[in-house]
């Protein structure tokens, strides 16, 4: 039942935004304020409100307070705010302003933007449920091999508890394994685990620092340090690309700059692209800064993350180290934000709105009070280097490895030759021989597998080429049901030709490789070798990445993994790097496939020869003439850039345009498509009045169905970001039907929905 209007004079109302809003619920809502909580209701306060016909308890942020509004200007009845969330500090005025700017910048609901600035709700002395093994941890592996479980989630829970020493919070199990409570309950019912409740309090989570002394800077590092320090002294927003080859000492440069910022009484944020990079970086940062640094990432418990957030807000620490979301760390005098490996797609939020990029948030945070943003990379994004070349941002070059260590020697193995002599496995004769040599010499090897494979492509085994869209120059995806090739950008479709248009060959390959298959094959080839696999399956759970790295560093012979092993790690004993299928990168259906190929291959090659021994690298490929592959061999970024930038300009791709994706998600497949088609028509009518604006056909998303919901998308191209926002704001979209669950907007997309 609706709450009645307040009729007494002097009563308050407050305007709130929902923290999880859709396009349909992104409005500001007015609620009455009960007298008993009136003193707590202030702008920025997080609260619960009853929302919708069922009065669903919903989290919201108070935006405005009207002390004596009395609801007299409203034409409808209003409900009361339920309660204040005492476990959150209110958003500051600066944070509220940032949320407003994000909402406009990303064309996203304001409440969703405010949610980015709020840490998870921590447990403050409350009772928490735990799960505990009823057997010794040493018996878990043998139990899981007995085939007693029909649900893989139950096995993962047991393995998780084993990794945690036998017990863990149920909430953390569900979070880290992305599962419901069902497998936990089933295991408890069958007496494999027991559930108990325990009261927890705020524990001290300071890290005991191990000294990490400063290294002597090279001449290049010194020059870079002086240039960036001068930028910091200007007290205005400055951006600078630190373009350094792998092993050139970028991390030491970062540490020195952060030391300088701290000495001036300011704060700094250091961002890394992957959680897997955090343990090694954390050791270096705590060794240099001790308790002045704190680490933020999604693998922390909600309580730990909340407490660290509070330490930052209270000024107890000066440096935050973490993945993408650490860019929101609530420092009050922030002067330096560093994005290490700035080319990585993980700096873009893909899961939910707003679809922000950490670099863009850094600019929004520093544009008023001034500060420096550093983009560090051996293989910077094309857009970043293009801006540096145009002198829109600063540029420093670190062209030499520290101690003048040579870059590793790189060799390409033509897998077409291997097929001709009957090699059917994943590994070439050359790579097998080099791994064997390394094992005999007591050296470590690193094998990179691009997990996604290329089963969606059709590749000619005579020339190594894939079939590309004539409009977009992007590999077309093969759909077995229709037997056709489809471009997932413009919708162009074609039948699979009987002969290769490049060479006339008639033999095609659709094989797909993954890490599990690679591990099995390696174990058969080298039965006595200790193989350590690092992928999403082996790194789940608390400190999963750190345990894998420690395992390999301690006594591993071969580290096999996906992209998480390709960058940032420093393994001095690794002298050999092998890449199983470069074609899986080259032929991915993305306009950035060549760029990603060059970046990943250069990064993974850089893991070799970082110690006293020289490094060797082997790239296995069918398309051995690809320009990105050959540029990666010589680690020649400039050669790659000159070729790729011309292609981008001719095809009207970024940085010469801004791409926007509008996604449609719903349980009614046909209804979702029809609504998307109506939206495209409306967008096209608006785009026709704008120069450089183009709206492509509606197509199924890359992930066509997820969690029982169908997904469609429209891609738009505009000359600038401002044009994209103008197009969206000036389009009159049709009313959203019931079968469409949500509509999302992603300007300058990362993974193209």
Q: What is the pLDDT of residues 724-743, one digit of tens each?
A: 999 999 999 999 888 887 88
Confidence label for 69 from pLDDT (cuts 50, 70 and 90): low
Please name which of 560, 577, 565 lies closest in space to residue 614, comparing C-alpha atoms. 577
Instruction: Identify the architecture of domain 409-453+512-648 in CATH.
Output: 3-Layer(aba) Sandwich (3.40)
Q: Which residue has the tokens 């409740």?
A: 197
Q: Would the pLDDT of 360 be above 80? A: yes
pTM above 0.95, yes or no: no
Confidence label for 73 from pLDDT (cuts 50, 70 and 90): low
What are the pLDDT digits (tens) for 221-276? 999 999 999 999 998 999 999 999 877 889 999 999 999 999 999 999 999 987 76
CATH fold, domain 658-747, is Alpha-Beta Plaits (3.30.70)
Instruction: Identify the architecture of domain 12-115 in CATH.
Output: 3-Layer(aba) Sandwich (3.40)
- At 117 the pLDDT is 95
User: Which phi and psi (to 5°) does residue 391 adopt?
Assistant: 65, 30
CB 619 within 8 A of CB 633: yes
Per-range mean pLDDT, top range of 353-357, 385-389, 458-462 = 385-389
Please name which of 108, 160, 165 lies closest in space to residue 537, comparing C-alpha atoms. 160
Q: Which residue has the tokens 């738009």?
A: 716
Distance CA 124, CA 17 (A): 26
Please name which of 492, 479, 493, 488 lies closest in space to residue 714, comparing C-alpha atoms. 488
More confident: 7 or 544 = 544
In this structure, how many other beta carbons lie within 10 angstroms of the beta carbon of residue 125? 8
Mean pLDDT over 554-576 rounds to: 83
* Range in 71-80, 187-196, 461-470, 503-512 the model is least confident about: 71-80
Confidence label for 339 from pLDDT (cuts 50, 70 and 90): very high
- At 543 the pLDDT is 65
Distance CA 176, CA 241 (A): 34
* Range in 400-414, 437-451, 469-483, 615-629 the model is least confident about: 469-483
Distance CA 720, CA 660 (A): 11
- At 205 the pLDDT is 45
What are the pLDDT digits (tens) for 187-221? 999 999 999 987 665 444 444 445 677 888 999 99
219-403 and 409-453+512-648 in the same fold: yes
Distance CA 22, CA 643 (A): 42
- At 695 the pLDDT is 96
Confidence label for 1 from pLDDT (cuts 50, 70 and 90): very low
Mean pLDDT over 545-555 rounds to: 83
DSSP 348: B
Share of the chain above pLDDT 90, in %: 51
CB 727 within 8 A of CB 718: yes
Q: Would the pLDDT of 570 be above 90? A: no
What are the Cα distances from residue 405, in Å, to 16, 182, 703? Answer: 58, 53, 43
- At 512 the pLDDT is 56
- At 532 the pLDDT is 92
Tell me the longest C-alpha to C-alpha distance in the chain: 91
- At 456 the pLDDT is 59
Please name which of 311, 372, 376 lies closest in space to residue 347, comparing C-alpha atoms. 376
What are the pLDDT digits (tens) for 165-189? 788 889 888 877 878 898 999 999 9
Structure tokens at 207: 């890290």
Mean pLDDT, the chain, integer: 86
Q: What angle do CA 259, 264, 270 make, to 5 degrees?
A: 45
Mean pLDDT over 379-394 rounds to: 96
- At 2 the pLDDT is 42
Instruction: Identify whether 655 is preceded by a cis peptide bond (ω within 30 of 0).
Output: yes
Q: Which three-class secondary structure string do you get for 188-221?
A: HHCCCEEEEEEECCCCCCCCCCCCCCCCCCCHHH
Q: Would the pLDDT of 515 be above 80? A: no
Per-range mean pLDDT, top range of 162-166, 290-294, 361-365 = 361-365
More confident: 68 or 381 = 381
Bridge partners, 397 (sequence order): 243
The residues spanned by each domain of the chain are 12-115, 127-199, 219-403, 409-453+512-648, 456-510, 658-747
Confidence label for 479 from pLDDT (cuts 50, 70 and 90): low
Structure tokens at 325: 């979301």
- At 199 the pLDDT is 65
Say if residue 658 is exposed, middle or buried (CB neighbours under 10 Å; 0-12, 13-18, 19+). Answer: buried
What are the Cα distances from residue 9, in Å, to 32, 34, 68, 69, 669? Answer: 13, 13, 7, 8, 52
Q: Would the pLDDT of 708 be above 70? A: yes
Distance CA 257, CA 229 (A): 7
Q: Which residue has the tokens 């020339």?
A: 463
Confidence label for 7 from pLDDT (cuts 50, 70 and 90): very low
Instruction: Tell me which H or E stretch contains 485.
Output: strand 484-486
> Cα torsion for 119, 125, 131, 132, to the nearest 10°?
130
Q: Would the pLDDT of 687 be above 90? A: yes
User: Helices marked H in 577-660 — which ranges?
Assistant: 583-586, 593-605, 627-633, 637-651
* Range in 13-17, 118-122, 245-249, 326-330 the model is least confident about: 118-122
Please name which of 10, 110, 26 lies closest in space to residue 66, comparing C-alpha atoms. 10
DSSP 56-91: EEEEEEEEEEETT-TTTT-SS--PBP-EE-TTSPPP
What are the Cα distances from residue 257, in Å, to 39, 246, 294, 381, 561? Answer: 44, 19, 17, 23, 33
Q: Which three-class secondary structure string do you get for 328-343?
A: HCCCCCEEEEEEECCC
**Which superfamily is assigned to 219-403 in CATH?**
P-loop containing nucleotide triphosphate hydrolases (3.40.50.300)
Mean pLDDT over 555-576 rounds to: 83
Q: Would the pLDDT of 633 be above 60? A: yes
What are the pLDDT digits (tens) for 284-319? 898 899 889 999 877 677 778 888 998 999 999 999
């Amino acid at each position: 039942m609706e709450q009645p209007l307040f009729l007494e004079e002097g009563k308050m109302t407050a305007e709130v935004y929902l923290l999880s809003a859709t396009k349909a619920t992104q409005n500001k809502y007015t609620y009455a304020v009960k007298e008993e909580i009136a003193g707590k209701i202030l702008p920025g306060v997080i609260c619960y409100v009853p929302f919708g016909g069922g009065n669903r308890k919903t989290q919201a942020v108070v935006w405005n307070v009207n002390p004596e509004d009395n609801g007299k200007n409203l034409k409808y009845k209003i409900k009361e705010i339920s309660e204040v969330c005492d476990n959150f500090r209110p958003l500051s005025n600066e944070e509220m302003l940032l949320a407003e700017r994000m909402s406009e910048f990303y064309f996203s609901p304001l409440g969703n933007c405010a949610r980015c600035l709020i840490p998870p709700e921590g447990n403050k002395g409350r009772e928490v449920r735990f799960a505990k093994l009823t057997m010794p941890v040493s018996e878990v592996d043998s139990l899981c091999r007995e085939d007693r479980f029909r649900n893989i989630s139950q096995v993962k829970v047991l393995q998780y508890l084993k990794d945690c020493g036998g017990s863990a919070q149920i909430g953390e199990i569900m979070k880290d394994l992305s599962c419901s409570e069902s497998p936990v309950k089933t295991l408890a019912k069958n007496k494999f685990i027991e559930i108990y409740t325990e009261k927890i309090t705020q524990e001290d989570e300071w890290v005991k620092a191990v000294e990490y002394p400063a290294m002597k800077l090279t001449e290049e590092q010194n020059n870079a340090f002086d240039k960036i320090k001068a930028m910091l002294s200007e007290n205005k927003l400055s951006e600078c690309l630190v373009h350094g080859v792998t092993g050139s000492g970028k991390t030491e440069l970062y540490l020195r700059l952060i030391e300088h910022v701290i000495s001036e009484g300011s704060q700094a944020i250091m961002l890394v692209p992957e959680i897997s990079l955090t343990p090694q970086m954390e050791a270096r940062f705590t060794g240099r800064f001790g308790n002045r640094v704190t680490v933020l990432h999604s693998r922390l418990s909600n309580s730990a993350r909340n407490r660290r957030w509070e330490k930052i807000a209270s000024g107890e620490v000066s440096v935050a180290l973490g993945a993408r979301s650490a860019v929101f760390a609530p420092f009050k005098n922030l002067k330096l934000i560093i994005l290490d490996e700035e080319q990585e797609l993980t700096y873009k939020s893909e899961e939910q709105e707003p679809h922000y990029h950490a670099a863009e948030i850094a600019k929004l945070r520093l544009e008023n009070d001034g500060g420096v943003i550093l983009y560090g990379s051996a293989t910077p994004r094309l857009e970043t280097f293009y801006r540096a070349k145009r002198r829109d941002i600063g540029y420093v070059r670190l062209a030499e490895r520290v101690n003048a260590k040579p870059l590793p020697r790189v060799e390409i193995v033509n897998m077409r030759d291997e097929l001709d002599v009957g090699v059917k496995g994943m590994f070439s004769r050359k790579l097998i021989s080099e791994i064997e040599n390394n094992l005999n010499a007591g050296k470590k090897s690193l094998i990179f597998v691009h997990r996604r494979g290329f089963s969606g492509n059709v590749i000619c085994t005579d020339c190594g080429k894939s079939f590309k869209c004539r409009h977009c120059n992007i590999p077309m995806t093969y759909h077995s049901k229709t037997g056709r090739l489809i471009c997932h950008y413009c919708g162009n479709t074609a039948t699979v030709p009987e002969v290769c248009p490049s060479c006339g060959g008639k033999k095609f390959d659709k094989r797909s490789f993954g890490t599990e298959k690679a591990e099995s094959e390696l174990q058969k080839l080298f039965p006595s070798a200790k193989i350590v696999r690092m992928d999403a399956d082996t790194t789940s759970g608390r400190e999963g990445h750190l345990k894998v790295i420690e395992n390999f560093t301690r006594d591993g012979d071969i580290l096999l993994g996906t992209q998480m092993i390709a960058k940032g790690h420093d393994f001095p004993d690794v002298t050999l790097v092998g890449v199983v299928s470069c074609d899986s990168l080259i032929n991915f259906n993305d306009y950035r496939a060549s760029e990603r190929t060059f970046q990943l291959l250069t990064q993974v090659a850089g893991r070799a020869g970082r110690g006293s021994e020289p490094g060797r690298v082997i790239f296995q490929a069918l398309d051995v003439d690809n320009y990105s592959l050959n540029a990666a061999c010589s680690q020649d970024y400039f050669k790659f850039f000159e070729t790729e930038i011309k292609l981008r300009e001719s095809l009207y791709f970024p940085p010469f345009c801004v791409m926007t994706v509008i996604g449609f998600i719903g349980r009614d497949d046909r209804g979702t498509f029809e609504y998307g088609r109506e939206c495209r028509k409306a967008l096209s009518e608006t785009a026709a009045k704008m120069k450089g604006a183009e709206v492509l056909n509606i197509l199924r998303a890359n992930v066509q169905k997820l969690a029982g919901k169908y997904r469609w998308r429209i891609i738009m191209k505009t000359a600038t970001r401002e044009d994209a926002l103008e197009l969206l704001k000036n389009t009159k979209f049709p009313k959203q039907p019931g079968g469409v669950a949500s509509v999302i907007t992603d300007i300058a997309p990362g993974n193209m929905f």
